[in-house]
Structure 1
Amino acid sequence: MLVALVTIVGLIIADQGLKFWVVSNLAVGSQIKLIPGYFSLTYVQNRGASWGILPGAQGLFIAITVLAVTFFSYKIYKKQASSSWVNFAYGCLVGGALGNLIDRLVNGYVVDMLQTDFISFPIFNLADSALTIGVIILLLLAKEQDLSLF
């Protein structure tokens, strides 16, 4: 459980810290090329879900996020998985979900800023990355260990 808690707190601090820096230092739509041709910071206000779909459905996203956070928090507390990887994955899911939930509740939108320049992919944030990593780890572990992780 400690691995999950440290992951959650660390992700929220890192995610919100990066978002605060971006909002404080960049105008909406402006860009800083970190590694030209590969990676940039581009400030976007995402009022939808992934890829900006369903703009204006904040209530729905908040409800789904609260349910997901409740579910995975329960799994962390009740299951107390023996695997640090499972706890890390659950921590990524809860931390990532909370990072974006904070944005939705405070701003009414999610701050996105990470842009890959070498492929056409939507701009995302650290919380989105954590969610993706958590899902990938759980899928790999479920396949490898034939566990009921959900």
Structure 2
Amino acid sequence: MSSDPLREERLRLAEEFGQFFDENGLPRAEGRLLGWLVVCDPPEQSAEDLGEALGLSRGGISMAMRMLMRAEAVERAVIPGSRRHYYRLRPGLWRREIERRVQEARRTRDLALDGLERLRTAPSEQLRRLQDMRDMYDYLARGYQDLNDEWQAREKGAEDGDRQNHE
């Protein structure tokens, strides 16, 4: 392990990301890699850099990166003059996360609505679970949309403030 305290803290954070992923039913390696890409310096890391930092095999890194790229959390980066593959955290990842949650909640609500429509002739007590599902995901969809709107307004205000400070 390095004697650089900042690097050691970054590695501990990456391990905590891995633990969080594992506790939530996701692969620990993907969590460790994502966590490292959140805190590493430089932000672009080759497979060799990732393997050295996290002690993962090239095959493990390759599989994990494919999953993270499919999830649009990570992207490949080009470093002029290098033929290696580099990876970095996808810009805007956290902003897109709330948008994804809005869409997932809407789709889940719509699935419940479809079920209620298709089973409309069933006794009401048999529809209770679908009604509960519809109500919860309708609530979540509206709540996530409100959070997304607030976040966008906050970012716009920050951009407007930055613009005014530079004028």
TM-score greater than 0.5 by the shorter chain: no
Higher relative contact order (CA 8 A, sep 6+): 1
Q: Which has the larger Rg?
A: 2
User: Could you tell me the TM-score, scaled by structure 1's length?
Assistant: 0.32
Task: Give the structure with the higher percent helix.
Answer: 2
